[in-house]
Amino acid sequence: MDTIRRVWQVTKSRPTLEGAGVKLKRAFGFSEAPNLDPFLLLDHFGSENPEDYLAGFPWHPHRGMETVTYMIRGEVEHGDSLGNRGTIRSGDVQWMTAGSGIIHQEMPRKMAGLMTGFQLWVNLPAAHKMMAPRYRDILAGQIPEISSGDGVRLKIVSGEIRGVRGPVTDLVVETEYLDVALDPVAEWRHPVASGKTACAYLFEGSGFFDPDRDREVPPGHLVVLGDGERVHVSAGTRGARFILVSGKPLHEPVAWRGPIVMNTEAELEQAFREYREGTFIKSKQVRRDP
Ligand code: FE2
């Protein structure tokens, strides 16, 4: 019998001002990241008021990490300093490996109703921090949706469930990224190998994240799971929707300032010096696939 992962910590996302004044909810960031290795940060964009997000995220650099943008509902235009452009639309994912460096902007478009999306930051190991940058632009229709048991529907952005594989493969840090929807009181069991970091962010309905059902987790909360071999979730009476991410910790020193994440202070200083001096971009070609 495999062991079930228990809830280790539940925290409420906190209102945060980012970019040029975007009001978002931070599920975890700088202070929590040591417990979430290889993940660095998870932001939840969710607002009915365009004033909260229209200022966007104007030009800024990234190095040494990946950003994963998943729009549930809404659109973000992005462009980089090399002239790559695109729009992430409802249901799409952009998995951006900044590697040695990308300078980009991310500008949400005005829309009526509730805009909802996420950005996850995944750290890169020392050996890959300076790898050539890469974009994966995944359209909503490329993300497989499967039913798993009664009242369970899940979209697989990355990872594999019963032979169904998400479109984002060949990752440096193997990350499973699932969007899970449970009908009222539905249960879901899912293997996540021991030793991996696993967390869930619930954004609709409510749920219990271990079989003891001690604590009903409301929307806008992050659940960090303890070690074990299997995740067990059951939905509250209004159902539940959450993202679940898991990955193997890097166990490396982290030197992090703003959008640049390296291993040492010297590497950080070098990155910011290069940005000031205009020598930040090392690779003029960004691989774009699949
Ligand atoms: Fe960015």
Each residue's pLDDT tens digit, 232-286: 999 999 999 999 999 999 999 999 999 999 999 999 999 999 999 999 999 888 8
CATH no., domain 7-282: 2.60.120.10
Alpha carbon of 190 to ligand 1 centroid (Å): 31
Mean pLDDT, residues 96-122 taken together = 96
Is-contact 17 51, C-beta < 8 A? no
CA distance 273 to 243: 37
Is-contact 179 145, C-beta < 8 A? no
Contacts of 235 by beta carbon, 8 Å cutoff, 6+ apart: 151, 182, 183, 184, 185, 186, 187, 205, 206, 207
Alpha carbon of 259 to ligand 1 centroid (Å): 7
- Computed over every residue of the chain, the mean pLDDT equals 96
CA distance 92 to 74: 10
pLDDT of residue 201 exceeding 80, the answer is yes
Alpha carbon of 73 to ligand 1 centroid (Å): 19
Alpha carbon of 102 to ligand 1 centroid (Å): 9
Alpha carbon of 168 to ligand 1 centroid (Å): 19
pLDDT of residue 214 exceeding 90, the answer is no
CA distance 273 to 199: 35
Is-contact 199 35, C-beta < 8 A? no
- Residue 290's pLDDT is 62
Alpha carbon of 51 to ligand 1 centroid (Å): 20
- Residue 2's pLDDT is 81
CA distance 70 to 253: 28
pLDDT of residue 149 exceeding 80, the answer is no
pLDDT of residue 206 exceeding 90, the answer is yes
Alpha carbon of 60 to ligand 1 centroid (Å): 6
Instruction: Tell me if residue 225 falls in helix, strand or coil.
Output: strand
Nearest CA among 239, 167, 242 for reference residue 198: 242
CA distance 217 to 98: 33
pLDDT of residue 27 exceeding 70, the answer is yes
Alpha carbon of 182 to ligand 1 centroid (Å): 31
Alpha carbon of 87 to ligand 1 centroid (Å): 14
The token pair that represents 118 in the structure block? 């996420």
- Residue 115's pLDDT is 94
Q: How confident is the model at residue 35 (pLDDT cuts 50, 70, 90)?
A: very high
Q: How confident is the model at residue 86 (pLDDT cuts 50, 70, 90)?
A: very high
Alpha carbon of 26 to ligand 1 centroid (Å): 15
Alpha carbon of 66 to ligand 1 centroid (Å): 9
The token pair that represents 211 in the structure block? 């079989």
pLDDT of residue 15 exceeding 70, the answer is yes
> Identity (one letter) of the amino acid at 221?
H
Alpha carbon of 54 to ligand 1 centroid (Å): 15
Alpha carbon of 56 to ligand 1 centroid (Å): 10
What's the residue count for the chain? 290
CA distance 113 to 172: 37
pLDDT of residue 289 exceeding 90, the answer is no
Alpha carbon of 2 to ligand 1 centroid (Å): 39
Alpha carbon of 207 to ligand 1 centroid (Å): 31
pLDDT tens digits for 63-80? Answer: 999 999 999 999 999 999
Q: How confident is the model at residue 132 (pLDDT cuts 50, 70, 90)?
A: very high
pLDDT > 70: percent of the chain: 99
Q: Which residues pair with 27 in a beta bridge?
A: none
Mean pLDDT, residues 115-138 taken together = 97
Alpha carbon of 184 to ligand 1 centroid (Å): 36
Alpha carbon of 57 to ligand 1 centroid (Å): 7
Please indicate, yes or no, whether the overall pTM of this predicted structure exceeds 0.95: yes
Burial zone of 10 (CB within 10 Å; 0-12 exposed, 13-18 middle, 19+ buried)? middle
Alpha carbon of 104 to ligand 1 centroid (Å): 6
CA distance 280 to 290: 26
Residue with tokens 């990946």: 66
Alpha carbon of 70 to ligand 1 centroid (Å): 13
Mean pLDDT, residues 93-114 taken together = 96
What is the largest distance, in Å, between two alpha-carbon atoms of the chain?
Answer: 58
